[in-house]
Chain A
Amino acid sequence: AQSVTQPDIHITVSEGASLELRCNYSYGATPYLFWYVQSPGQGLQLLLKYFSGDTLVQGIKGFEAEFKRSQSSFNLRKPSVHWSDAAEYFCAVGAGDMRFGAGTRLTVKP
């Protein structure tokens, strides 16, 4: 069965610092992988997705993620965090039956 693990429940970074959010997945075949962001009181917005091809995927708002099959990982990165990036981030796997990780809450310090 497919599943996703986000090891970090809460991460705090300073504005302007780099960010990496971790995601590990379990899936029987080549996975469809996603990162979503949820601002307080809002629905989820897609940041980026990986289906196949180039393992470094660019998304919206300056985010990128790298698929590493050998490590079953799909970590999200951003070189310089802005205060508006504070939100809950979800990694997800699958298509038609998408399963989400528990989420990582990002706090941005001034």
Chain B
Amino acid sequence: DTAVSQTPKYLVTQMGNDKSIKCEQNLGHDTMYWYKQDSKKFLKIMFSYNNKELIINETVPNRFSPKSPDKAHLNLHINSLELGDSAVYFCASSTRLSGELFFGEGSRLTVL
């Protein structure tokens, strides 16, 4: 029973398209995150939600729009995809007390 699950695992699309990645956690955590890992393996925080409220919004183009329908789900929608958006996107969750992040397996996005 996967703790943090993301779909899809792989996504190949053309420039200019719109795509979404979904994330669900069954750990009962109150905080969820999106991280972007580039081709050099560098991990950068993009967004964080606590109890459906946006609390971290790093310098990310507004083509990226997170949405949290409830505290167990955090989705990422990307409009007008660009080549530079190609990366692995990781969802993670935590409780605010522990600080420890639990990661999903990642969603590899390739923009052609």
Interface residues of A (CB under 8 A from B): 32, 34, 36, 38, 41-46, 49, 51, 88, 90, 94-100, 102-103, 105
Contact = CB atoms under 8 A, between A and B. Distances in A.
B99 A43 contact: no
A65 to B, nearest CB: 14
Nearest to B9: A41
Given A43-B90, A43-B106, A44-B90, A102 B41 contact: yes
A28 B42 CA distance: 23
B50 to A, nearest CB: 8
B7 to A, nearest CB: 14
Given A32-B99, A43-B105, A51-B99, A99 B42 contact: no
A96 B31 contact: yes
Nearest to B102: A46
Interface size class of B (residues with CB under 8 A): 20 to 34
A25 B48 CA distance: 22
Nearest to B35: A100
Nearest to B104: A43
A103 B42 contact: yes
B100 A49 contact: yes
Given A97-B45, A103-B42, A34 B100 contact: yes
B100 A88 contact: no
A4 B45 CA distance: 14
